[in-house]
């Protein structure tokens, strides 16, 4: 049995066949379910003290914001609009009301900022770290929903911002790319789309698997965030941009765009950085550096691998 998170998910996915109401199921950023004749986009993402944030360092407000924002980011990646959420909180035993109230304030502030009302929740206490399990529902935007599938060989692969070093703070303060998702969808640009939560080297492999493609990433094209030059994560700045994760930028496969089209998007506030090209599947996911191609292994965040 493989030991990566994706191996495990792949191994169980067959247990959950899509029902008649399931338009998009397991294996995408969010699910799309038909309820009463309409598409509802549904997502859950769980964050944990000591894994996804350090409560003692960032405080409850930032933890709550991240718990909601990671879910909104997944809705954004489907070009869906966040609408409402419920919050499951597992509090460490002995928790004081002040922490609970500060978490509530953090969720209320984040809900207002991210246009995703908190409409319910469940609170438990256990002998473990703080767990915040948010589930969010959204509506498809006016231009429909997008998934990780749909990319074709020859597509450009682009990201909406610079990558790497998010641990220095952006993993908490990122703004989910809801607006960018809508702008791209309004122009019919994405063939496939997802958010970069676990690092380009890991997430691009997921988009490729869903689209039945390979991909070449061109090292020189990858936009490296200034934070990637000073982050404490392993590797070179380029490796950090490829592997750090939690950039929460959109990863988009699309027909190559003219410089004019890219400029027009930029005028609408969406910067599309091309990082590579989709290829035929057998080529796999590769990094092309100074003209030489080599395998780009998924070295982003994996819950089952990191100690």
Whole-angstrom distance, CA of residue 91 vs CA of residue 130: 5
Q: Which of 4, 10, 26, 283 touches a copy of itself (CB under 8 A)?
A: 26
At closest approach, how far in Å is the CB of 51 from a copy of itself? 6
At closest approach, how far in Å is the CB of 93 from a copy of itself? 9
Q: Is 10 in the site for a copy of itself (CB under 8 A)?
A: no
Q: Which of 84, 149, 175, 293 touches a copy of itself (CB under 8 A)?
A: 84
Q: Is 12 in the site for a copy of itself (CB under 8 A)?
A: yes
Q: Return the range that interacts with a copy of itself (CB under 8 A); candidates 9-17, 156-164, 211-219, 262-270.
A: 9-17
Nearer to a copy of itself, 19 or 282 (CB): 19
The DSSP element (H or E) to which 134 belongs, if any, is: strand 131-140
At closest approach, how far in Å is the CB of 121 from a copy of itself? 7
Q: What is the dihedral of CA 81, 87, 88, 92, to 10 degrees?
A: 130
At closest approach, how far in Å is the CB of 43 from a copy of itself? 7
At closest approach, how far in Å is the CB of 222 from a copy of itself? 27
Alpha helices in 116-234 (DSSP H): 170-173, 178-186, 200-211
At closest approach, how far in Å is the CB of 31 from a copy of itself? 4
CA 2 to chain centre: 23
The DSSP element (H or E) to which 219 belongs, if any, is: none
Q: Return the range that interacts with a copy of itself (CB under 8 A); candidates 21-29, 144-152, 184-192, 204-212.
A: 21-29
| Alpha carbon distances (Å) from 241 to 24, 109, 190, 275 | 29, 30, 22, 11
For residue 18, give both structure tokens.
């899509």
Q: Is 281 in the site for a copy of itself (CB under 8 A)?
A: no
Q: Which of 59, 100, 271, 281 touches a copy of itself (CB under 8 A)?
A: 100
> What is residue 35's three-state secondary structure?
strand
DSSP structural state of residue 95? -
* 51 contacts: CB under 8 Å, gap ≥ 6: 129, 303
Q: Return the range that interacts with a copy of itself (CB under 8 A); candidates 46-54, 155-163, 250-258, 268-276.
A: 46-54
For the chain, the maximum distance between any two Cα atoms, rounded to a whole number of angstroms, is 59
In contact, 47 and 36? CB cutoff 8 Å: no
Q: What is the dihedral of CA 230, 231, 237, 238, to 10 degrees?
A: -150
Q: Is 113 in the site for a copy of itself (CB under 8 A)?
A: no
Tell me the site size for a copy of itself, rule CB under 8 A. 70
Whole-angstrom distance, CA of residue 217 vs CA of residue 115: 34
**List of residues contacting a copy of itself (CB under 8 A):** 1, 5, 8-9, 11-12, 15-16, 18-19, 21-22, 24-26, 28, 30-31, 33, 35-40, 42-46, 48, 50-52, 83-84, 86-90, 97, 100-101, 104-105, 107-108, 111, 117-129, 131, 133, 135, 137-139, 303-304
């Amino acid at each position: 049995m493989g030991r990566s998170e994706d191996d495990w998910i792949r191994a169980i996915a067959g247990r959950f066949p899509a029902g008649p109401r399931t338009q998009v199921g397991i294996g995408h950023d969010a699910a799309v379910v038909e309820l009463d004749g309409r598409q509802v986009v549904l997502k859950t993402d769980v964050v944990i003290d000591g894994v996804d944030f350090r409560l003692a360092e960032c405080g409850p407000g930032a933890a709550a914001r991240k718990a909601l924002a990671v879910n909104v980011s997944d809705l954004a990646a489907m070009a869906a609009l966040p609408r409402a959420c419920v919050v499951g909180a597992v509090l460490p035993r002995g928790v004081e009301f002040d922490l609970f109230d500060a978490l509530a304030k953090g969720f209320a502030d984040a809900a207002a900022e991210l246009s995703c009302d908190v409409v319910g929740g469940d609170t438990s206490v256990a002998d473990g770290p703080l767990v915040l399990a948010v589930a969010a529902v959204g509506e498809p935007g006016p231009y429909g929903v997008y998934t990780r599938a749909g990319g074709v060989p020859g597509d450009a692969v682009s990201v909406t911002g610079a990558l790497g070093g998010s641990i220095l703070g952006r993993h908490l303060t990122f703004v989910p790319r809801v607006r960018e998702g809508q702008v791209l969808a309004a122009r019919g640009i994405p063939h496939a789309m997802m958010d970069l939560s676990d690092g380009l080297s890991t997430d691009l492999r997921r988009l490729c698997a869903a689209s039945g493609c390979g991909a070449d990433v061109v090292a020189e094209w990858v936009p490296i965030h200034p934070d990637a030059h000073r982050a404490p994560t392993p590797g070179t700045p380029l490796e950090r941009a490829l592997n750090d994760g939690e950039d929460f930028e959109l990863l988009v496969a699309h027909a190559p765009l003219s410089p004019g089209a890219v400029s027009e998007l930029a005028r609408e506030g969406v910067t599309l950085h091309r990082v590579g090209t989709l290829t035929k599947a057998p080529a796999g996911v590769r990094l092309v550096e100074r003209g030489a191609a080599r395998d780009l292994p998924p070295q982003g965040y994996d819950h089952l691998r990191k100690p």
